[in-house]
Structure 1
Amino acid sequence: DPDHPDKVYKVVKALYGLHQAPRAWYETLATYLLENGFHRGQIDQTLFIKKQKGDILLMQIYVDDIIFGATNKDLCKSFEKLMKDKFQMSSIGELTFFLGLQVKQKEDGIFINQDKYVAEILKKFGLTEGKSASTPIDTEKPLLKDPDGEDVDVHIYRSMIGSFNVLNFIKTRHHVCMAYSDSDYAGASLDKKSTTGGCQFLTSRLISWQCKKQTVVATSSTEAEYVAGASCCA
Protein backbone atom coordinates (compact mmCIF):
# COMPACT_ATOMS: atom_id res chain seq x y z
CA ASP A 1 0.00 0.00 0.00
CA PRO A 2 1.71 3.28 -1.09
CA ASP A 3 0.02 5.14 1.77
CA HIS A 4 1.55 2.76 4.33
CA PRO A 5 4.94 1.66 2.92
CA ASP A 6 6.11 0.29 6.28
CA LYS A 7 3.18 -2.12 6.62
CA VAL A 8 2.20 -5.39 4.93
CA TYR A 9 -1.13 -7.14 4.51
CA LYS A 10 -1.79 -10.44 6.22
CA VAL A 11 -4.29 -12.59 4.34
CA VAL A 12 -6.66 -14.78 6.34
CA LYS A 13 -6.81 -17.44 3.62
CA ALA A 14 -4.96 -18.38 0.46
CA LEU A 15 -5.49 -16.23 -2.63
CA TYR A 16 -5.27 -17.43 -6.22
CA GLY A 17 -1.82 -16.63 -7.57
CA LEU A 18 0.10 -16.82 -4.31
CA HIS A 19 2.85 -19.44 -4.15
CA GLN A 20 1.11 -21.34 -1.32
CA ALA A 21 -2.30 -21.37 -3.06
CA PRO A 22 -1.88 -24.72 -4.89
CA ARG A 23 -0.93 -26.52 -1.69
CA ALA A 24 -3.79 -24.91 0.26
CA TRP A 25 -6.27 -25.93 -2.44
CA TYR A 26 -4.91 -29.48 -2.57
CA GLU A 27 -5.11 -29.88 1.21
CA THR A 28 -8.69 -28.57 1.27
CA LEU A 29 -9.79 -30.85 -1.56
CA ALA A 30 -7.92 -33.89 -0.23
CA THR A 31 -9.44 -33.48 3.23
CA TYR A 32 -12.94 -33.27 1.75
CA LEU A 33 -12.41 -36.38 -0.37
CA LEU A 34 -10.97 -38.42 2.50
CA GLU A 35 -13.94 -37.44 4.66
CA ASN A 36 -16.26 -38.80 1.97
CA GLY A 37 -14.83 -42.29 1.63
CA PHE A 38 -11.96 -41.77 -0.82
CA HIS A 39 -8.47 -43.22 -0.40
CA ARG A 40 -5.33 -41.47 -1.56
CA GLY A 41 -3.08 -43.30 -4.03
CA GLN A 42 0.08 -44.72 -2.46
CA ILE A 43 2.32 -43.79 -5.40
CA ASP A 44 0.49 -40.84 -6.96
CA GLN A 45 -0.72 -38.51 -4.22
CA THR A 46 -3.03 -36.72 -6.66
CA LEU A 47 -4.98 -39.90 -7.42
CA PHE A 48 -8.00 -40.67 -5.25
CA ILE A 49 -9.92 -43.94 -5.25
CA LYS A 50 -13.35 -44.89 -3.97
CA LYS A 51 -14.76 -48.42 -3.95
CA GLN A 52 -18.45 -49.10 -3.47
CA LYS A 53 -20.27 -52.45 -3.78
CA GLY A 54 -17.83 -53.92 -6.27
CA ASP A 55 -17.53 -50.73 -8.34
CA ILE A 56 -14.60 -48.33 -8.38
CA LEU A 57 -14.25 -44.62 -9.06
CA LEU A 58 -10.90 -43.03 -9.93
CA MET A 59 -10.32 -39.30 -9.62
CA GLN A 60 -7.17 -37.52 -10.82
CA ILE A 61 -6.23 -33.97 -9.81
CA TYR A 62 -4.06 -31.56 -11.80
CA VAL A 63 -4.02 -28.22 -9.95
CA ASP A 64 -7.67 -27.10 -10.30
CA ASP A 65 -8.57 -29.52 -13.10
CA ILE A 66 -10.13 -32.88 -12.26
CA ILE A 67 -10.83 -35.93 -14.40
CA PHE A 68 -12.72 -38.93 -13.10
CA GLY A 69 -14.20 -42.19 -14.27
CA ALA A 70 -16.01 -45.15 -12.78
CA THR A 71 -17.27 -48.61 -13.59
CA ASN A 72 -20.77 -47.39 -12.78
CA LYS A 73 -22.31 -44.19 -14.21
CA ASP A 74 -24.25 -43.62 -11.00
CA LEU A 75 -20.94 -43.25 -9.17
CA CYS A 76 -19.91 -40.52 -11.59
CA LYS A 77 -23.19 -38.67 -11.07
CA SER A 78 -22.95 -38.88 -7.28
CA PHE A 79 -19.33 -37.69 -7.37
CA GLU A 80 -20.25 -34.73 -9.54
CA LYS A 81 -22.99 -33.77 -7.08
CA LEU A 82 -20.60 -34.24 -4.15
CA MET A 83 -18.14 -31.77 -5.65
CA LYS A 84 -20.74 -29.17 -6.60
CA ASP A 85 -22.21 -29.28 -3.08
CA LYS A 86 -18.88 -28.09 -1.70
CA PHE A 87 -17.12 -26.16 -4.46
CA GLN A 88 -18.09 -23.83 -7.27
CA MET A 89 -17.20 -25.72 -10.41
CA SER A 90 -18.47 -26.70 -13.83
CA SER A 91 -18.53 -29.98 -15.72
CA ILE A 92 -17.45 -30.14 -19.37
CA GLY A 93 -18.83 -33.62 -19.95
CA GLU A 94 -17.03 -36.62 -21.41
CA LEU A 95 -13.24 -36.30 -21.46
CA THR A 96 -11.86 -35.42 -24.90
CA PHE A 97 -8.67 -33.48 -24.11
CA PHE A 98 -6.41 -33.30 -21.06
CA LEU A 99 -2.83 -32.05 -20.60
CA GLY A 100 -1.98 -32.28 -24.28
CA LEU A 101 -3.62 -35.67 -24.71
CA GLN A 102 -6.57 -36.12 -27.04
CA VAL A 103 -8.92 -38.82 -25.80
CA LYS A 104 -11.40 -40.82 -27.86
CA GLN A 105 -13.79 -43.11 -26.01
CA LYS A 106 -15.32 -45.97 -27.99
CA GLU A 107 -17.08 -49.20 -27.20
CA ASP A 108 -13.93 -51.25 -27.79
CA GLY A 109 -11.62 -49.06 -25.71
CA ILE A 110 -10.24 -45.65 -24.83
CA PHE A 111 -7.70 -44.28 -27.31
CA ILE A 112 -5.17 -41.52 -26.69
CA ASN A 113 -3.22 -39.53 -29.28
CA GLN A 114 -1.21 -36.30 -29.43
CA ASP A 115 -1.92 -34.98 -32.91
CA LYS A 116 -2.61 -31.51 -31.52
CA TYR A 117 0.59 -31.51 -29.46
CA VAL A 118 2.64 -32.58 -32.50
CA ALA A 119 1.14 -29.75 -34.57
CA GLU A 120 1.91 -27.24 -31.79
CA ILE A 121 5.59 -28.18 -31.42
CA LEU A 122 6.11 -28.25 -35.20
CA LYS A 123 4.70 -24.72 -35.38
CA LYS A 124 6.74 -23.61 -32.36
CA PHE A 125 10.04 -24.66 -33.94
CA GLY A 126 9.18 -23.63 -37.51
CA LEU A 127 8.99 -27.15 -38.88
CA THR A 128 5.48 -27.11 -40.33
CA GLU A 129 6.92 -26.92 -43.86
CA GLY A 130 9.81 -29.26 -43.13
CA LYS A 131 10.41 -32.38 -45.18
CA SER A 132 11.16 -35.80 -43.76
CA ALA A 133 14.72 -37.16 -44.00
CA SER A 134 16.26 -40.54 -43.31
CA THR A 135 19.38 -39.00 -41.69
CA PRO A 136 19.93 -35.77 -39.69
CA ILE A 137 22.57 -34.57 -42.18
CA ASP A 138 23.64 -35.30 -45.74
CA THR A 139 25.85 -38.40 -45.59
CA GLU A 140 28.01 -37.17 -48.48
CA LYS A 141 28.68 -33.73 -46.98
CA PRO A 142 32.03 -33.48 -45.16
CA LEU A 143 32.09 -31.91 -41.70
CA LEU A 144 34.30 -28.84 -42.07
CA LYS A 145 34.79 -25.70 -40.04
CA ASP A 146 32.25 -22.96 -40.74
CA PRO A 147 33.87 -19.67 -39.64
CA ASP A 148 30.94 -17.62 -40.92
CA GLY A 149 28.26 -19.78 -39.30
CA GLU A 150 26.21 -18.68 -36.30
CA ASP A 151 26.26 -20.53 -33.00
CA VAL A 152 23.29 -22.75 -32.32
CA ASP A 153 20.94 -21.59 -29.55
CA VAL A 154 21.48 -24.44 -27.10
CA HIS A 155 18.35 -23.54 -25.11
CA ILE A 156 16.08 -23.86 -28.15
CA TYR A 157 17.83 -27.09 -29.13
CA ARG A 158 17.31 -28.59 -25.67
CA SER A 159 13.68 -27.51 -25.68
CA MET A 160 13.19 -29.12 -29.09
CA ILE A 161 14.78 -32.42 -28.03
CA GLY A 162 12.80 -32.43 -24.78
CA SER A 163 9.52 -31.84 -26.63
CA PHE A 164 10.19 -34.75 -28.97
CA ASN A 165 11.26 -36.98 -26.08
CA VAL A 166 7.85 -36.44 -24.44
CA LEU A 167 6.23 -38.02 -27.49
CA ASN A 168 8.63 -40.96 -27.39
CA PHE A 169 8.11 -41.49 -23.65
CA ILE A 170 4.32 -41.62 -23.90
CA LYS A 171 4.35 -43.84 -27.00
CA THR A 172 6.76 -46.38 -25.51
CA ARG A 173 4.89 -49.22 -23.82
CA HIS A 174 7.72 -50.58 -21.70
CA HIS A 175 9.72 -48.03 -19.72
CA VAL A 176 12.94 -49.84 -18.84
CA CYS A 177 15.26 -48.36 -16.23
CA MET A 178 18.95 -49.21 -16.63
CA ALA A 179 21.88 -48.23 -14.42
CA TYR A 180 25.62 -48.32 -15.07
CA SER A 181 28.46 -47.98 -12.58
CA ASP A 182 32.25 -47.94 -12.63
CA SER A 183 35.05 -47.35 -10.17
CA ASP A 184 38.78 -46.86 -10.06
CA TYR A 185 40.82 -48.40 -7.25
CA ALA A 186 42.53 -46.34 -4.54
CA GLY A 187 42.73 -43.36 -6.87
CA ALA A 188 42.80 -40.72 -4.11
CA SER A 189 46.43 -40.12 -3.20
CA LEU A 190 45.77 -38.87 0.35
CA ASP A 191 43.33 -41.43 1.77
CA LYS A 192 43.47 -44.16 -0.92
CA LYS A 193 39.71 -44.11 -1.38
CA SER A 194 38.20 -45.09 -4.71
CA THR A 195 35.94 -42.94 -6.87
CA THR A 196 32.50 -44.05 -8.03
CA GLY A 197 30.89 -43.06 -11.31
CA GLY A 198 27.34 -43.97 -12.28
CA CYS A 199 24.39 -43.05 -14.46
CA GLN A 200 20.75 -44.12 -14.76
CA PHE A 201 18.67 -44.28 -17.94
CA LEU A 202 14.89 -44.46 -18.30
CA THR A 203 13.79 -45.55 -21.78
CA SER A 204 17.24 -44.67 -23.20
CA ARG A 205 17.12 -41.21 -21.61
CA LEU A 206 19.68 -40.11 -19.03
CA ILE A 207 17.79 -39.07 -15.88
CA SER A 208 20.48 -39.14 -13.18
CA TRP A 209 24.25 -39.34 -12.84
CA GLN A 210 26.90 -39.06 -10.16
CA CYS A 211 30.65 -39.07 -9.61
CA LYS A 212 31.92 -39.05 -6.05
CA LYS A 213 34.51 -40.46 -3.70
CA GLN A 214 33.50 -43.61 -1.87
CA THR A 215 32.91 -43.34 1.88
CA VAL A 216 34.91 -46.49 2.69
CA VAL A 217 38.42 -47.63 1.81
CA ALA A 218 38.08 -50.62 -0.51
CA THR A 219 40.70 -53.34 0.01
CA SER A 220 40.44 -54.64 -3.56
CA SER A 221 39.28 -53.53 -6.99
CA THR A 222 36.40 -56.01 -6.73
CA GLU A 223 35.19 -54.42 -3.50
CA ALA A 224 35.43 -50.97 -5.09
CA GLU A 225 33.23 -52.12 -7.97
CA TYR A 226 30.68 -53.64 -5.56
CA VAL A 227 30.52 -50.38 -3.59
CA ALA A 228 30.03 -48.45 -6.84
CA GLY A 229 27.27 -50.81 -7.96
CA ALA A 230 25.44 -50.55 -4.65
CA SER A 231 25.65 -46.75 -4.70
CA CYS A 232 24.43 -46.59 -8.29
CA CYS A 233 21.31 -48.65 -7.58
CA ALA A 234 20.49 -47.20 -4.15
Structure 2
Amino acid sequence: MDDCVSMSTPMATERLDADLQGTPTDQTTYRRMIGGLMYLTASRPDIAFATFVCARYQAHPTVKHLKEVKRIFRYLRQSYKMGLWYPKDSKFKLIAYSDADHAGCKDDCKSTSEGLQLLGENIVSWSSKKQDCTAMSTTEAKYVSLFACCAQVMWMRTKLLDYEYKYNKIPMY
Protein backbone atom coordinates (compact mmCIF):
# COMPACT_ATOMS: atom_id res chain seq x y z
CA MET A 1 0.00 0.00 0.00
CA ASP A 2 2.95 2.35 0.46
CA ASP A 3 3.55 2.60 -3.29
CA CYS A 4 -0.07 2.99 -4.41
CA VAL A 5 -1.63 6.20 -5.67
CA SER A 6 -4.09 7.78 -3.22
CA MET A 7 -7.74 8.45 -4.12
CA SER A 8 -9.85 11.44 -3.09
CA THR A 9 -13.14 9.49 -3.07
CA PRO A 10 -13.91 5.93 -1.90
CA MET A 11 -16.00 5.03 -4.96
CA ALA A 12 -16.10 5.89 -8.65
CA THR A 13 -19.08 7.86 -9.91
CA GLU A 14 -20.29 5.01 -12.11
CA ARG A 15 -22.54 2.41 -10.54
CA LEU A 16 -21.24 -1.08 -9.89
CA ASP A 17 -23.08 -4.03 -11.44
CA ALA A 18 -22.82 -7.84 -11.39
CA ASP A 19 -20.35 -7.91 -14.34
CA LEU A 20 -21.36 -11.41 -15.51
CA GLN A 21 -18.83 -11.38 -18.38
CA GLY A 22 -15.90 -10.23 -16.20
CA THR A 23 -12.85 -12.24 -15.15
CA PRO A 24 -13.49 -13.99 -11.80
CA THR A 25 -11.15 -13.26 -8.89
CA ASP A 26 -10.31 -15.12 -5.68
CA GLN A 27 -13.47 -15.19 -3.56
CA THR A 28 -11.67 -15.76 -0.22
CA THR A 29 -9.35 -12.77 -0.63
CA TYR A 30 -12.26 -10.57 -1.73
CA ARG A 31 -14.32 -11.57 1.31
CA ARG A 32 -11.41 -10.88 3.67
CA MET A 33 -10.98 -7.42 2.20
CA ILE A 34 -14.71 -6.69 2.52
CA GLY A 35 -14.70 -7.99 6.13
CA GLY A 36 -11.86 -5.65 7.04
CA LEU A 37 -13.65 -2.70 5.46
CA MET A 38 -16.92 -3.56 7.24
CA TYR A 39 -15.07 -3.50 10.55
CA LEU A 40 -13.79 -0.02 9.73
CA THR A 41 -17.25 1.36 8.91
CA ALA A 42 -18.00 1.65 12.65
CA SER A 43 -15.58 4.57 12.89
CA ARG A 44 -15.44 5.58 9.22
CA PRO A 45 -18.99 6.11 7.89
CA ASP A 46 -17.52 7.81 4.82
CA ILE A 47 -16.60 4.38 3.40
CA ALA A 48 -19.82 2.61 4.43
CA PHE A 49 -21.80 3.07 1.23
CA ALA A 50 -18.93 2.05 -1.07
CA THR A 51 -18.13 -0.95 1.15
CA PHE A 52 -21.71 -2.21 1.25
CA VAL A 53 -22.12 -1.83 -2.52
CA CYS A 54 -18.97 -3.93 -3.03
CA ALA A 55 -20.19 -6.44 -0.41
CA ARG A 56 -23.17 -7.29 -2.62
CA TYR A 57 -20.87 -9.09 -5.03
CA GLN A 58 -19.09 -11.46 -2.61
CA ALA A 59 -20.63 -14.56 -4.18
CA HIS A 60 -19.11 -13.94 -7.64
CA PRO A 61 -16.46 -11.21 -7.45
CA THR A 62 -14.69 -10.16 -10.63
CA VAL A 63 -11.62 -8.06 -11.34
CA LYS A 64 -13.93 -5.04 -11.72
CA HIS A 65 -15.23 -5.52 -8.16
CA LEU A 66 -11.73 -6.08 -6.77
CA LYS A 67 -10.61 -2.85 -8.42
CA GLU A 68 -13.38 -0.95 -6.57
CA VAL A 69 -12.42 -2.53 -3.23
CA LYS A 70 -8.79 -1.54 -3.80
CA ARG A 71 -10.00 1.99 -4.54
CA ILE A 72 -11.53 2.14 -1.05
CA PHE A 73 -8.20 1.07 0.46
CA ARG A 74 -6.41 3.71 -1.61
CA TYR A 75 -8.88 6.30 -0.31
CA LEU A 76 -8.19 5.17 3.27
CA ARG A 77 -4.47 5.60 2.68
CA GLN A 78 -4.85 9.34 2.02
CA SER A 79 -7.55 9.94 4.66
CA TYR A 80 -6.17 7.96 7.61
CA LYS A 81 -6.41 10.98 9.94
CA MET A 82 -10.18 11.29 9.46
CA GLY A 83 -12.68 9.86 11.94
CA LEU A 84 -15.63 10.70 14.18
CA TRP A 85 -15.41 13.22 16.99
CA TYR A 86 -17.84 13.19 19.92
CA PRO A 87 -17.64 16.33 22.11
CA LYS A 88 -18.78 15.63 25.68
CA ASP A 89 -20.89 18.77 26.28
CA SER A 90 -23.23 18.62 23.29
CA LYS A 91 -27.03 18.97 23.55
CA PHE A 92 -29.21 15.86 23.79
CA LYS A 93 -31.69 16.50 20.97
CA LEU A 94 -32.76 13.54 18.80
CA ILE A 95 -32.85 14.30 15.06
CA ALA A 96 -33.26 11.90 12.13
CA TYR A 97 -32.47 12.08 8.42
CA SER A 98 -33.73 9.76 5.71
CA ASP A 99 -33.17 9.50 1.98
CA ALA A 100 -33.38 7.01 -0.89
CA ASP A 101 -32.35 6.69 -4.48
CA HIS A 102 -34.72 5.32 -7.09
CA ALA A 103 -33.68 2.10 -8.83
CA GLY A 104 -30.06 2.60 -7.81
CA CYS A 105 -29.01 -1.03 -8.20
CA LYS A 106 -28.33 -1.81 -11.86
CA ASP A 107 -28.88 -5.55 -11.35
CA ASP A 108 -32.45 -5.62 -10.03
CA CYS A 109 -33.55 -1.94 -10.13
CA LYS A 110 -34.12 -1.84 -6.37
CA SER A 111 -33.64 1.37 -4.44
CA THR A 112 -31.28 1.97 -1.53
CA SER A 113 -32.54 3.45 1.75
CA GLU A 114 -30.28 5.60 3.88
CA GLY A 115 -30.96 6.75 7.42
CA LEU A 116 -29.03 8.70 10.04
CA GLN A 117 -29.93 9.47 13.64
CA LEU A 118 -28.19 12.11 15.74
CA LEU A 119 -28.32 12.63 19.48
CA GLY A 120 -27.23 16.23 19.80
CA GLU A 121 -24.24 16.60 17.48
CA ASN A 122 -23.31 12.93 17.80
CA ILE A 123 -24.18 10.27 15.28
CA VAL A 124 -25.59 7.30 17.18
CA SER A 125 -27.15 5.21 14.43
CA TRP A 126 -27.05 5.02 10.65
CA SER A 127 -28.00 2.58 7.94
CA SER A 128 -27.70 2.02 4.23
CA LYS A 129 -29.71 -0.91 2.91
CA LYS A 130 -31.09 -2.08 -0.40
CA GLN A 131 -34.87 -2.10 -0.21
CA ASP A 132 -36.74 -5.41 -0.26
CA CYS A 133 -39.33 -4.18 -2.75
CA THR A 134 -38.95 -2.57 -6.16
CA ALA A 135 -40.26 0.99 -5.94
CA MET A 136 -42.24 2.31 -8.90
CA SER A 137 -41.33 5.94 -8.20
CA THR A 138 -38.90 8.12 -6.28
CA THR A 139 -41.69 9.03 -3.87
CA GLU A 140 -42.40 5.39 -3.08
CA ALA A 141 -38.68 4.70 -2.51
CA LYS A 142 -38.46 7.68 -0.14
CA TYR A 143 -41.55 6.52 1.82
CA VAL A 144 -40.03 3.06 2.29
CA SER A 145 -36.82 4.69 3.53
CA LEU A 146 -38.76 7.03 5.82
CA PHE A 147 -40.63 4.06 7.32
CA ALA A 148 -37.36 2.27 8.15
CA CYS A 149 -35.89 5.44 9.64
CA CYS A 150 -39.04 6.04 11.68
CA ALA A 151 -38.91 2.49 13.06
CA GLN A 152 -35.31 3.08 14.20
CA VAL A 153 -36.26 6.41 15.81
CA MET A 154 -39.17 4.80 17.67
CA TRP A 155 -36.85 2.07 18.98
CA MET A 156 -34.31 4.69 20.08
CA ARG A 157 -37.07 6.72 21.74
CA THR A 158 -38.15 3.66 23.73
CA LYS A 159 -34.57 2.95 24.83
CA LEU A 160 -33.98 6.58 25.83
CA LEU A 161 -37.21 6.48 27.86
CA ASP A 162 -35.50 3.81 30.00
CA TYR A 163 -32.94 6.50 30.91
CA GLU A 164 -35.77 9.01 31.59
CA TYR A 165 -35.21 11.06 28.43
CA LYS A 166 -38.62 11.87 26.97
CA TYR A 167 -39.02 13.00 23.37
CA ASN A 168 -42.46 14.14 22.19
CA LYS A 169 -41.41 15.70 18.91
CA ILE A 170 -38.53 14.25 16.91
CA PRO A 171 -37.72 16.10 13.67
CA MET A 172 -37.14 13.89 10.63
CA TYR A 173 -35.63 15.33 7.50
If the TM-score is normalised by the length of the shorter chain, which range does it land in?
0.3 to 0.5
Larger radius of gyration: 1
Structure with the larger helix share = 2
| TM-score, normalised via structure 1 length | 0.28
TM-score by length of 2: 0.37
> Which is bigger in relative contact order (C-alpha 8 A, separation at least 6)?
2
- The structure with the largest strand share of the pair is 1
